[in-house]
Homo-oligomer: A and B are copies of this chain.
Amino acid sequence: MTITLKSPLDMHLHLRDEDMLKIVAPLSAETFSAGIIMPNLVPPVTTIEAVKAYKQRIKDAIGDEEFEPLMTLFFKNDYSYEFLKDAKEHISAIKLYPSGVTTNSEGGVSSMDIEGLRSTFEIMSELEIPLCVHGETNGFVMDREAEFGSVYEQFAINFPKLKIIMEHITTKNSVDLLDKHENLYATITVQHLYITLDDVAGGMLKPHLFCKPIAKRYEDREALLRVALSGHPKVMFGSDSAPHPTHKKECCGCAAGVFTAPIAITALASLFDTNGALENLQAFVSDNAQKVYNYKPQIKEIELVKEPFRVQKSYANVVPMFAGEMLSWSVKE
């Protein structure tokens, strides 16, 4: 059995920079047509020059492969109308990080108070720039995303023309918000469709499955699977693929992030097939995102075949999800 995916899109991707960029960017380009590139470099991407320069570095790292980096700015609440009007032609979205919730988010927003954010949110609404949000509070690790739910609702109600994308959602609570507010959308990762906290910390501790937001309960994964597998139109694939070198994953304090870029498409095909939902995979990995972002990707067809595929143990010094394990679908060479 084979299927062909048209222009798969990764709507949440960390490519990092320098040596790591050179390792991971070509791997995304192998199976994706384009990807939303997260701006949490050190320092974060906050100027048009930085956007353009980072985009060029990504293109250089990718070489001949067809892949469009869809750039983003790191949210700041003092971006002016003039700046964002100029920025708009270079970016696809702006990413908001609450301060301190994840890797390189220290320069993020310290208060979710609407009034402090109103000016930028109104400009973004007018210019039709989507807002991507890492939706976690600084609360207890299992409650952070659910606690952020009321913030999402405040954003949605107060800025009805702003497209708000709840990034890498992990809870039933966030899934429920999709049908409650017209202007809320979501991305979901591979790993949150596969795992719960039991996989991370229920048996042995698994640093390579540790990410933020942390994987939650079975009922949360069920809710995520329901909207992903059904091709819910407000739900997009976003890998949140986040490479860390081995020594940062297996030391006394291990960094958050699962590296899925090179196996995301085959892992999704395996999952959708197992659940009898292959016909909705195209919507999840591309069509929904095209509509939400009003984006027409270059045509890039990825042929997948139902043949066992053993995941590499590592890519350079980065260990992927399912390292050394078998998946039931392969990318046809």
Contacts and interface: CB of A to CB of B under 8 A. Distances in A.
A217 B253 CA distance: 20
Given A206-B252, A207-B254, A250-B251, 5 more contacts: A142-B142, A142-B197, A205-B205, A207-B207, A252-B319
A207 B205 CA distance: 7
Contact of A140 (B197, B208, B253): B197
A291 to B, nearest CB: 36
A255 B201 CA distance: 10
A255 B217 CA distance: 22
A141 interface: yes
Contacts of A202: 140-141
Nearest to A103: B204
A142 B219 CA distance: 14
A323 B252 CA distance: 10
Interface of A is mostly: loop
Interface string A187-215: 00000000011101111111110100010
A253 B255 CA distance: 15
A51 B250 CA distance: 37
A205 B210 contact: yes
Interface residues of A, number: 28
A113 B218 CA distance: 26
Contacts of A141: 197-198, 201-202
A265 interface: no
Contacts of A142: 142, 197, 217
A268 to B, nearest CB: 23
A229 interface: no
Contacts of A218: 140
Contacts of A204: 253-256
Nearest to A248: B204
A14 to B, nearest CB: 17
